[in-house]
Amino acid sequence: MPVHLKPLSTKRRNLTPYSFLLPSLIIISVFWFLPIFASFALSLTKWRGIGPIRLAGLANYAKIFQTDEFWVALKNTTYYSVVTVPAGLVLALGSALVLNQKLRSRNFFRGVFFFPVIISMVVVALIWSWMFNKDYGIVNTFLTGLGLSATPDWLASSKTALPVIMIMSIWKGFGYGMVIYLAGLQGIPDMYYEAAEIDGASRWKKFWHITLPLLNPTTLFVMVIAFIGSFQVFDQVYIMTEGGPGYSTTVMVNYIYHEAFRRFHMGQACAIAYVLFAIILVLTIIQIRFFRKRMVDA
């Protein structure tokens, strides 16, 4: 005897996909949206993690811009971002251009360049701390072997600590951009290059007038991701220098951590976090608009 299934109503059929999404939506709401709203509420209070919560209004936000530590942290973060993001982009694009050629060992070198990306930042930061150790680090051992008697204490000097962290961050992160650029390069049709060769265009002209403009969307993605990551740098600073010596390597997230978990100014830390969010948002919008204009002009 045939079984006749009753068709679902249109309303129930439309709600079915959302029922499958509901568990994920609940998890995202509890662990993402709820903390966002809760931290904003805390930014308007004075709270030390325990005890009563007192309303402070916008006092925390006003205090931020009157604190020297905030400006030092913002300066260090900006310096870190201005150096690491362009350097990482250039290295990523350059290595992608080389490894996009028909080389015998290109797959091996792709893996070598990408390998640091998948290593834990904690592990990398510890290894680089040992490498630049004044007494037994491989860098100073090499310099001593070259005949240099006075070797620098790299991570204990305010002049060299942040540059060492920046070099390590560039080395670790550029492989991610390289993979994205490789995908972008392989998506450029060969017919453009063939037409340019017929016109007698040089390699530089093909790169400048074909490759670079067609990679604008890829560059935008890589640059925005790298920029956001650079303004949220924390792990390597915390492990290698803890923000020192003095405040020479104190960055924004490091400053937030100190306010929240060492001074227990939870409201102040939340306010700084929202100021950082506003800075990242504004600068990201500027980057997107700049590249959109370039893509339209191209």
| pLDDT in the model for residue 160 | 95
pLDDT for residue 149: 79
Whether 80 is in a domain gets the answer yes
Side-chain-side CA neighbours of residue 58 (13 Å): 3
Q: What are the per-10-residue average pLDDT scores of the chain (298 residues)?
A: 55 75 90 92 92 92 95 97 97 95 88 95 96 92 87 93 97 96 94 90 91 93 96 96 93 96 94 96 92 69
Distance, in Å, from the CA atom of 155 to the CA atom of 163, rounded to the nearest integer, reads: 9
CATH number at residue 197: 1.10.3720.10
Rounded CA Rg of the chain: 25
Nearest CA to 226 out of 159, 297, 282, 178 is that of: 178
Among all chains, which residue has been given the structure tokens 């982009």?
89
pTM of the full predicted structure? Answer: 0.90
Residue 3 has a pLDDT of 53
Rounded Cα–Cα distance for residues 32 and 20 (Å): 19
In a domain, 116, yes or no: yes
Q: How many residues does the chain have?
A: 298
Dist CA 83 CA 88 (whole Å):
8
Looking at residue 14, its pLDDT comes to 72
**Domain total of the chain:** 1
37 inside domain: no
12 within a domain of the structure (yes/no): no
Give the pLDDT of residue 148: 83
Structure tokens at 132: 């630049």
pLDDT for res 82: 97
- What pLDDT is recorded for position 19? 83
Asked whether residue 251 is domain-assigned, the answer is: yes
Q: Can you give the residue range of the structural domain that contains 226?
A: 68-297
- Tell me: the pLDDT tens digits for 200-229? 889 999 999 999 999 999 999 999 999 999
Establish if 274 belongs to a structural domain.
yes
**119 lies in some domain:** yes
Give DSSP secondary structure letters for the chain: ----PPPPPHHHHHHHHHHHHHHHHHHHIIIIIHHHHHHHHHTTEE--SSS--EE-TTHHHHHHTT-HHHHHHHHHHHHHHHHHHHHHHHHHHHHHHHHTS--TTHHHHHHHHHHHHHS-HHHHHHHHHHHT-TTT-HHHHHHHHTT-SS---GGG-TTTHHHHHHHHHHHHHHHHHHHHHHHHHHTS-HHHHHHHHHTT--HHHHIIIIIHHHTHHHHHHHHHHHHHHHHT--HHHHHHTTT-STTTT--HHHHHHHHHHTS--HHHHHHHHHHHHHHHHHHHHHHHHHHHHHHHH-
HSE of 93 in the Cβ direction (CA atoms, 13 Å)? 19
Q: What's the pLDDT tens digit per position in 230-245?
A: 999 999 999 999 999 9
**153 found inside a domain:** yes
Q: State both tokens at 161.
A: 């600590």
